[in-house]
């Protein structure tokens, strides 16, 4: 068997090789760029800060501003930090570190990286599938932000009054009236007509900012089954959003690495300015107290722990493929351990910091309206495009604050979108490096064009229903399953001993026993618990908290979830069918690392005999059809 494996290029040197001393850092080449097999250069980050700021820009996104503060309010205020930090320590940070080390060691994107165990290559395809679905609707949200940004350049903000063409008789400018009427008006058996809930008792009052959002911006149709026409000004904003993405990624990480110096730092400047300005406004302290006052009784609720785990997954952007993709452009000797600690800490700190800003704004707004903070707290797009605009409209020099706020949202959104599209482009190019490495600009342009076209249904009159559906169903269960599989493959199939030695080759020291315990036992157990919480909490898709999607919408939501799940086993089934021998022999064979697995540069492979020419024959393992020869 051993001779046969040697001839087929599947032989690995024994893993228990004397490796007790730390790697000599002077042996690690500091080459600026790695060469692909066809001689084309694989780009790298031009500086250490480029990568670090790109990770921060990717991880710190819109969810830090409009999801985390709401979850704190919903799940016990300051008490929510207990499960949040627990999930960070036992699930988020271990996976974040794993993905950075995984991508940096191999210099490969999330699909090609599964040379480590070809049977699981479908996990890489699932990562890309999720990134594709999210990339489509995420830029639509950026298009909304652009529209609000442009609308801010006026003397009077258009969502402040009720005397506009898009307003109805239900429009009110005083939300305290809205709160009182909502309390007294039953919404049972209500239907959605022109953005207003109507029942037998009359028309539900709607705030001016909500009517601007639903009628003036979205031109929202009656329901999911009524897509209507393309909203032309949103189409132009979507086109502009994709042009921004393309031109910032035109040279790959070398151009994106410069843009993130702005997109990763500007939001903090705006958040700080808003915090200082709003903290001195009447009612701000009440909002902050509402945000941080702990209700420890909520920790007995399993849903609170589930929300914390899911938020960590979305907040750190683990299992999306983006971290692997960005780390693959690192120098081999980059200290990925330090980077993972820094980025994770900054990300979670940003969520908490943003909460103070948001609830100081909501406290001021509640004081102005004479209502409780809970009456103005919201989540998602309702918070970003209804509540926030209404709040900044009440500040002195409101157009200035509005422009700053939406420019901050634009920076947050673009930083995340850059990484999402870079992940997709990297995955395509790494699968066909001989043909596409020199055509990176063309690939990026085609991806942006195709995604722009796929996003057009999202900017029709019924498009926001699709956006909300994709936001709720395109990622979630799939992400947690991918993270679980990723952890099991590295820790149990490839082995923590091998992975620890790989990390030592890069940074000069092995991870301590804490990481061994997390990757083998604690993190998989926590991920299984989060999966259980998620499955228990699944509910029918609802729009705006009160309008349930029709059967077609529910089916489409499940289809989006299943799309990323179905692709996971397919490559493994193909490789098993292609291999020779009994079924178990085939399975064992396709679970082994391929000969090309390991560091990208030959100089780095020589640092460990598992990857040197003495340990692994460097013969081409691909057939004429460019598929792995694993027979």
Give residue-wise pLDDT tens across range 424-438. 999 999 999 888 888
Question: How buried is residue 416: exposed, middle or buried, by Cβ count under 10 Å (0-12/13-18/19+)?
Answer: buried
User: Region 10-35: what's the mean pLDDT?
Assistant: 39
Greater confidence, 63 or 589?
589
Confidence label for 379 from pLDDT (cuts 50, 70 and 90): low
Identify the bridge partners of residue 202 per DSSP, sorted by sequence position: 199
For the chain, the average pLDDT equals: 84
pLDDT at 186 over 60: no
Residue 551 has pLDDT above 80, yes or no: yes
CA dist list (Å): 536 to 145, 500, 585 = 34, 36, 38
What lies within 8 Å, CB to CB, of 539 at 6+ separation is none
205 pLDDT exceeds 70?
yes
pLDDT attached to residue 41:
67
- pTM for this model (two decimals): 0.86
Write down the pLDDT at residue 189: 34
Angle 290-294-295 (CA atoms, 0-180°, nearest 5)? 105
What's the pLDDT tens digit per position in 392-421?
A: 888 888 999 999 999 999 999 999 999 999
547: left (phi over 0), alpha (psi -120 to 50) or beta: beta
Quick check: helix, strand or coil at residue 207? Answer: strand
Identify the weakest region by mean pLDDT among 48-57, 229-238, 563-572: 48-57
Of 468, 544, 411, 464, the closest CA to residue 234 belongs to 464
How does strand 542-543 pair with strand 547-548? antiparallel
Residue with token string 């609707």 = 137
Q: Pick the range with the lowest mean pLDDT from 48-57, 320-329, 403-412.
A: 48-57
Res. 540: pLDDT tops 70:
yes
- The pLDDT, as a whole number, for residue 430 is 92
Nearest to 379 by CA among 472, 300, 460: 472
Task: Could you list the residues known to form a binding site, using ranges.
Answer: 59-60, 64, 315, 347, 412
Q: Which residues are annotated as a binding site for Na(+)?
A: 59-60, 64, 315, 347, 412
pLDDT (tens digit, 9 = 90+) per residue, 230-257?
A: 999 999 999 999 999 999 999 888 888 8
pLDDT attached to residue 38: 45
458 pLDDT more than 50: yes
Partner residues linked to 628 by β-bridges: 622
Pairing relationship of beta strands 202-203 and 206-207 according to DSSP bridges:
unpaired
SS3 at position 107: coil
Range with the poorest average pLDDT among 201-210, 221-230, 270-279? 201-210
Work out the percent of the chain whose per-residue pLDDT is above 70. 84
**Does 346 or 379 have the greater pLDDT score?**
346
Predicted confidence at residue 547, as pLDDT, reads 82
Q: pLDDT class for 517, splitting at 50, 70, 90?
A: very high
């Amino acid at each position: 068997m051993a001779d046969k494996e040697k001839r087929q290029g599947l032989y690995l040197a024994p893993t228990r090789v004397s490796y007790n001393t730390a790697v000599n850092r002077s042996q690690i080449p500091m080459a600026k760029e790695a060469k692909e097999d066809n001689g084309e250069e694989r780009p790298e980050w031009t500086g250490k800060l480029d990568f670090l700021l790109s990770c921060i820009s990717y991880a710190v996104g819109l969810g830090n501003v409009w999801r985390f503060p709401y979850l704190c309010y919903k799940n016990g205020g300051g008490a929510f930090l207990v499960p949040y930090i627990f999930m960070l320590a036992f699930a988020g940070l271990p996976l974040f570190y794993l993905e950075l080390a995984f991508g940096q060691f191999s210099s490969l994107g999330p699909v090609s990286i599964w040379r480590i165990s070809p049977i699981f290559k479908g996990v890489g395809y699932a990562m890309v599938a999720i990134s594709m679905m999210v990339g489509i609707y995420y830029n639509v949200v950026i298009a909304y932000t652009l529209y609000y940004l442009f609308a801010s350049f006026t003397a009077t903000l258009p969502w402040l009054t009720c005397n506009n063409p898009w307003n109805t008789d239900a429009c009110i400018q005083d939300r305290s009236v809205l709160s009182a009427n909502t309390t007294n008006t039953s919404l049972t058996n209500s239907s959605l007509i022109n953005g207003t809930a109507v029942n037998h008792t009359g028309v539900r009052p709607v705030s001016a900012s909500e009517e601007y959002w639903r009628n003036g911006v979205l031109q929202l149709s009656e329901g999911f089954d009524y897509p209507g026409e393309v909203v032309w000004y949103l189409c132009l904003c979507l086109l502009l959003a994709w042009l921004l993405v393309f031109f910032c990624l035109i040279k790959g990480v070398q151009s994106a690495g410069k843009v993130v110096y702005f997109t990763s730092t500007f939001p903090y400047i705006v958040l700080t300015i808003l915090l200082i300005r709003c903290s001195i406004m009447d009612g701000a302290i009440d909002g902050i107290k509402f945000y941080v006052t702990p209700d420890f009784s909520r920790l007995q609720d399993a849903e609170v722990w589930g929300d914390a785990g899911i938020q960590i997954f979305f907040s750190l952007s683990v299992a999306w493929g983006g971290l692997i993709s960005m780390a693959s452009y690192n120098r081999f000797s980059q200290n990925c351990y330090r980077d993972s600690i820094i980025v994770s800490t900054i990300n979670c700190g940003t969520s908490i910091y943003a909460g103070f800003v948001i609830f100081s704004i909501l406290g001021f707004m509640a004081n102005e309206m004479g209502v409780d903070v809970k009456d103005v707290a919201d989540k998602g797009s309702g918070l970003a495009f209804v509540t926030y605009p209404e709040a900044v409209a009440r500040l002195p020099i409101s157009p200035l604050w509005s422009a700053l706020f939406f420019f901050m949202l634009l920076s947050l959104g673009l930083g995340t979108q850059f990484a999402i599209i870079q992940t997709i482009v990297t995955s395509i190019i790494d699968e066909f490096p001989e043909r596409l490495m020199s055509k990176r600009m063309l690939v990026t342009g085609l991806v942006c064009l195709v995604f722009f076209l796929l996003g057009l249904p999202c900017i029709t009159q019924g498009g926001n229903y699709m956006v909300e559906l994709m936001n709720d169903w395109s990622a979630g269960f799939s992400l947690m399953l991918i993270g679980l599989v990723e952890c099991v493959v590295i820790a149990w199939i490839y082995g923590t001993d091998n992975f620890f030695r790989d990390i030592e080759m890069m940074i000069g020291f092995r991870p301590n026993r804490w990481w061994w315990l997390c990757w083998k036992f604690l993190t998989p157990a926590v991920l299984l618990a989060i999966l259980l919480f998620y499955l228990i909490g699944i509910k029918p898709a609802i729009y705006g908290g009160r309008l349930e999607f029709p059967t077609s919408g529910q089916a489409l939501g499940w289809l989006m979830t299943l799309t990323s799940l179905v692709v996971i086993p397919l490559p493994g089934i193909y490789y098993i069918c292609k291999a020779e021998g009994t079924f178990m022999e085939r399975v064992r064979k396709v679970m082994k690392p391929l000969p090309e697995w390991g560091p990208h540069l030959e100089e780095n492979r020589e640092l460990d005999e598992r990857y040197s020419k003495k340990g692994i024959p460097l013969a081409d393992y691909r057939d004429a059809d460019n598929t792995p020869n694993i027979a």
